[in-house]
């Protein structure tokens, strides 16, 4: 090939190259001389820089740079880097002819001849403003998201790698877990779990569930840095890349300890309300049974008393006495039923439980038997309480007998007393008003009780003893006494480890009162008079007639208040009105008493009921009215009549 042909070929290639460069519009491709002066210009450069070829050739390329870049001589630095290293590549803001800016990706290559002499630079620039906007938007979004996560303090939000190691940490996690970022990143998340959960493999199961099901949700106890526990709500989500490969987990934890405690308190309150309603319903039932039973006992005990007065045969007397003992036992059972239903009349006085326990200790000791180690630990500073002394002793005896029966092989029985202050938020505050209380505890080391037995222990007739070894009314009496005294009772028991029964009674300042012994019975025979008996039960009415007849009274009878008022309106002289309080129809005994006093102000009134006077539906007895509880004995009735006559 001759030189002419070579020259023509080179010229043709140069023309094609120039045509190629001139046709490119997405890139600015132009040449610089060694000083940075522009020596060529293509269509792409003109399109997004705004200069045509005549305007720009011969100008220095630094005019495309911002004032800030020119101030630090960045254009010279770019050329120097390209000359020394053969290439400069970077991104930054550039300036168009109209002064607007665009984000450019720039490559500057040094051009040298065969001997290595620098001939100039080839500069390729691309407008990547759209990409820059997208990247900036993404970066801003990521920054805002990071600020959001870091700003959240009520949730622990952090990432785990696929093995469960912590890779980041937010302020919420630090606030209620206690670790700062430097302490916890790189540690395994299982350190937040309890020893029991780690031993059971719970952390690993959580990650496995998240992978298999796309999410893991749970609630449970977690551990802070200081070792304390909190109740947490946890969500773990698996994080995957575009190809579906697992790259880690997002973990969100919230401290819900307060909600957990509130739910438990609500559940306890509901259970307490249910138990209270159940006991109240059973109490109403047992109170009604006791009332009816007292009517029957009134008939039985008084008929036996009347038979005793006329019996002469020793065998008849023994049979009557046996029946009387059974009747007395029945009367005691009704008193226990009334105590449970809180309808047992109490006679509260200011007593110090320590004094009552010490005075009753010999009886309690004998009740324990020889194989029981009976112990007493009394607080010498114990406050007094307004309680019925005999009922307290009965309650104590019932508890001691139950404790004894729970230790057939022997054990320790301990009676303790102490002062207690109940404050808002205390465990007892849901059952008692805040204030000072006296606590008396009877503990044993016996067989203990199951949770089910504890929940039913105060129900009448419920017993864990063998058939024939208990009535199931002992704890019912204790429950009724404590509740009627304004206190609270509970049982703490573990099967095989023993039982403690705790009585809390309102404390009061002051010295205990002394009791006055009852006067001896006097002659029961009364001076003759007329009595009007009002009783709806025929058998009870009949026995009342017999008693008053024996006491020397003329007897008039009525089966309801309407009949009784009819007799009063007739003008018949009447000294005493003896009426049942609760009657099934019309006016009750209290209303009859008030109307009788309006008609006959001088009549003496004695009311009777199988219910205690404290539970009757009344706004108060008429002045001068006396009351007697069923079952009454004829001797008790005589005393009440004597009392009424003494008030003339």
Residue 260 burial by Cβ neighbours in a 10 Å radius (0-12, 13-18, 19+): middle
The reported pLDDT for the residue numbered 128 is: 85
What mean pLDDT comes out for the span 112-116? 89
387 & 425 share domain:
yes
**Tokens at residue 543, please?**
């026995």
Task: State how far the Cα of 88 lies from the Cα of 77, in Å rounded to an integer.
Answer: 9
Task: State how far the Cα of 610 lies from the Cα of 631, in Å rounded to an integer.
Answer: 7
What tens digit of pLDDT does each residue of 558-582 get?
988 889 899 988 888 999 999 988 7
What tens digit of pLDDT does each residue of 253-269 get?
888 877 777 776 676 66
The helix or strand, by DSSP H or E, that contains position 356, with its residue range, turns out to be helix 353-368
Residue ending a domain, choose from 96, 129, 162: 129
Question: Tell me, what CATH number does 236's domain have?
Answer: 3.30.450.20
> Beta partners for 28?
125
161 & 232 share domain:
yes
Query: Does residue 203 sit within a domain?
Result: yes
Domain that holds residue 275: 264-338
The reported pLDDT for the residue numbered 612 is: 59
The reported pLDDT for the residue numbered 394 is: 76
483 & 535 share domain:
no
Query: Does residue 13 sit within a domain?
Result: no
The reported pLDDT for the residue numbered 4 is: 45
What mean pLDDT comes out for the span 343-360? 77
> Are the C-beta atoms of residues 584 and 578 closer than 8 Å to each other?
no
**Tokens at residue 152, please?**
């959240």
The reported pLDDT for the residue numbered 468 is: 41
Task: State how far the Cα of 606 lies from the Cα of 559, in Å rounded to an integer.
Answer: 16
Query: Does residue 140 sit within a domain?
Result: no
Better-scored residue on pLDDT, 291 or 374: 374
Locate tokens 């890139």: which residue? 27
The reported pLDDT for the residue numbered 306 is: 67
Neighbouring residues of 74: CB distance < 8 A, sequence distance ≥ 6: 65, 92
Q: Using the predicted structure, report yes or no on whether residue 485 has a pLDDT greater than 60.
A: yes
The reported pLDDT for the residue numbered 5 is: 47
What tens digit of pLDDT does each residue of 120-133 get?
998 998 888 887 77
Q: Using the predicted structure, report yes or no on whether residue 495 has a pLDDT greater than 80.
A: yes
What mean pLDDT comes out for the span 605-613? 76
Say whether the peptide bond before residue 555 is cis (omega within 30 degrees of 0): no
467 & 555 share domain:
no
Under DSSP, is residue 201 helix (H, G, I), strand (E, B) or coil? coil
Residue ending a domain, choose from 338, 364, 383: 338
Q: What mean pLDDT is reported for the chain? A: 78
Better-scored residue on pLDDT, 176 or 477: 176
User: What total of structural domains would you count in the chain?
Assistant: 5
The DSSP result for 588-623, as a single string, is -HHHHHHHHHHH-TT-EEEEEESS-GGGSS-S-PPT
323 & 440 share domain:
no
Question: Tell me, what CATH number does 355's domain have?
Answer: 3.30.565.10
What mean pLDDT comes out for the span 371-391? 88
Question: Tell me, what CATH number does 334's domain have?
Answer: 1.10.287
Query: Does residue 24 sit within a domain?
Result: yes
548 & 618 share domain:
yes
Under DSSP, is residue 471 helix (H, G, I), strand (E, B) or coil? coil
The reported pLDDT for the residue numbered 353 is: 92
373 & 466 share domain:
yes
Better-scored residue on pLDDT, 62 or 288: 62
Q: For every residue of 270-337, which 3-state class applies, written as one string?
A: HHHHHHHHHHHHHHHHHHHHHHHHHHHHHHHHHHHHHHHHHCCCHHHHHHHHHHHHHHHHHHHHHHHH
The helix or strand, by DSSP H or E, that contains position 385, with its residue range, turns out to be strand 385-387
The reported pLDDT for the residue numbered 371 is: 87
Residue 505 burial by Cβ neighbours in a 10 Å radius (0-12, 13-18, 19+): buried
226 & 366 share domain:
no
User: Shortest CA distance to 543 belongs to which of 222, 298, 177?
Assistant: 298
The reported pLDDT for the residue numbered 57 is: 93
What tens digit of pLDDT does each residue of 49-92 get?
889 989 999 999 999 999 999 999 999 999 999 999 999 999 99
Q: Using the predicted structure, report yes or no on whether residue 278 has a pLDDT greater than 80.
A: no
Q: Using the predicted structure, report yes or no on whether residue 289 has a pLDDT greater than 60.
A: no
Confidence of residue 480 (pLDDT cuts 50, 70, 90): confident
Q: Using the predicted structure, report yes or no on whether residue 518 has a pLDDT greater than 70.
A: no
Confidence of residue 540 (pLDDT cuts 50, 70, 90): confident
The reported pLDDT for the residue numbered 455 is: 79
104: phi then psi, degrees, rounded to nearest 5: -120, 145
Better-scored residue on pLDDT, 518 or 593: 593
199 & 104 share domain:
no
433 & 565 share domain:
no
- Listed ranges 104-113, 272-281, 292-301, 358-367; the one with the highest mean pLDDT: 104-113
Q: Using the predicted structure, report yes or no on whether residue 522 has a pLDDT greater than 70.
A: no
Residue ending a domain, choose from 305, 338, 371: 338
Residue 475 burial by Cβ neighbours in a 10 Å radius (0-12, 13-18, 19+): buried
Reported in sequence order, the residue ranges of 113-215 that DSSP labels E, i.e. its strands, are 118-127, 155-160
355 & 432 share domain:
yes
Query: Does residue 525 sit within a domain?
Result: no
The reported pLDDT for the residue numbered 68 is: 93
Query: Does residue 617 sit within a domain?
Result: yes
Query: Does residue 141 sit within a domain?
Result: no
Return the sign of the alpha-carbon dihedral for residues 34, 38, 40, 45: positive
Query: Does residue 344 sit within a domain?
Result: no
Q: Using the predicted structure, report yes or no on whether residue 6 has a pLDDT greater than 70.
A: no
DSSP 8-state class, residue 107: E
391 & 470 share domain:
yes
């Amino acid at each position: 090939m001759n030189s002419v042909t070579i020259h023509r070929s080179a010229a043709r290639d140069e023309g094609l190259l120039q045509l190629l460069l001139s046709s490119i519009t997405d890139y600015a491709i132009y040449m610089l001389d060694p000083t940075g002066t522009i020596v060529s210009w293509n269509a792409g450069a003109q399109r997004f820089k705004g200069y045509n070829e005549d305007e720009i050739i011969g100008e220095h390329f630094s005019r495309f740079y911002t004032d800030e870049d020119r101030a630090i001589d960045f254009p010279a630095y770019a050329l120097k880097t390209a000359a020394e290293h053969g290439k400069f590549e970077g991104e930054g803001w550039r300036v168009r002819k109209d002064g607007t800016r665009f984000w450019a990706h720039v490559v500057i290559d040094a051009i040298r001849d065969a001997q290595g002499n620098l001939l100039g630079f080839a500069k390729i620039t691309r407008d990547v403003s759209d990409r820059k906007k997208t990247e900036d938007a993404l970066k801003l979004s990521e920054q805002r998201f990071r600020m959001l996560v870091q700003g959240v303090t009520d949730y622990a939000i952090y990432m785990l790698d696929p093995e469960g190691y912590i890779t980041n940490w937010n302020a919420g996690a630090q606030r209620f877990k206690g670790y700062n970022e430097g302490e916890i990143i790189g540690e395994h998340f299982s350190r937040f779990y309890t020893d029991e959960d780690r031993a059971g493999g719970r952390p690993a199961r959580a990650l496995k569930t998240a992978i298999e099901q796309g999410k893991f949700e749970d609630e449970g106890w977690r551990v802070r840095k200081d070792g304390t526990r909190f109740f947490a709500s946890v969500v773990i989500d698996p994080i995957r890349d575009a190809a579906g490969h697992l790259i880690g987990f997002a973990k969100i934890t919230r401290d819900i300890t307060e909600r957990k405690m509130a739910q438990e308190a609500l559940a306890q309150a509901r259970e307490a309300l249910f138990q209270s309603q159940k006991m109240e319903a059973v109490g109403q039932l047992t109170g009604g049974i006791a009332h009816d039973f007292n009517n029957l006992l009134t008939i039985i005990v008084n008929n036996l008393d009347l038979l005793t007065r006329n019996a002469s045969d020793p065998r008849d007397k023994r049979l009557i006495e046996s029946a009387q003992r059974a009747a007395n036992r029945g009367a005691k059972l009704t008193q226990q039923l009334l105590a449970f239903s809180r309808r047992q009349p109490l006679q509260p006085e200011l007593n110090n439980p320590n004094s009552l326990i010490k005075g009753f200790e010999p009886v309690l000791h004998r009740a324990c038997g020889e194989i029981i180690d009976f112990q007493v630990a009394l607080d010498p500073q114990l406050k007094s309480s307004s309680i019925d002394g005999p009922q307290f002793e009965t309650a104590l005896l019932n508890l001691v007998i139950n404790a004894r029966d729970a230790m057939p092989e022997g054990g320790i029985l301990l009676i303790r007393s102490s002062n207690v202050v109940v404050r808002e938020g205390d465990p007892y505050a849901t059952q008692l008003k805040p204030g000072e209380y006296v606590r008396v505890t009877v503990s044993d080391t016996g067989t203990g009780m199951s949770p089910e037995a504890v929940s039913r222990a105060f129900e009448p007739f419920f017993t864990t003893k063998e058939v024939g070894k208990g009535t199931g009314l002992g704890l019912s009496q204790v429950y009724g006494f404590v509740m009627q005294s304004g206190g609270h009772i509970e049982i703490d028991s573990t099967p095989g480890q023993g039982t403690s029964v705790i009585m809390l009674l309102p404390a009061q300042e002051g010295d205990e009162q002394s009791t006055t012994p009852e006067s001896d019975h006097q002659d029961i025979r009364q001076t003759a008079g007329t009595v009007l008996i009002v009783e709806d039960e025929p058998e009870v009415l009949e026995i009342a007639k017999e008693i008053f007849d024996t006491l020397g009274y003329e007897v008039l009878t009525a089966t309801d208040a309407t009949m009784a008022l009819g007799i009063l309106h007739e003008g018949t002289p009447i000294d005493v009105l003896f009426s049942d309080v609760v009657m099934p129809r019309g006016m009750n005994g209290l209303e009859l008493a008030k109307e009788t006093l309006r008609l006959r102000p001088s009549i003496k009134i004695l009311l009777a009921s199988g219910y205690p006077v404290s539970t009757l539906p009344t706004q108060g007895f008429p002045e001068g009215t006396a009351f007697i509880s069923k079952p009454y004995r004829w001797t008790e009735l005589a005393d009440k009549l004597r009392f009424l006559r003494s008030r003339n």
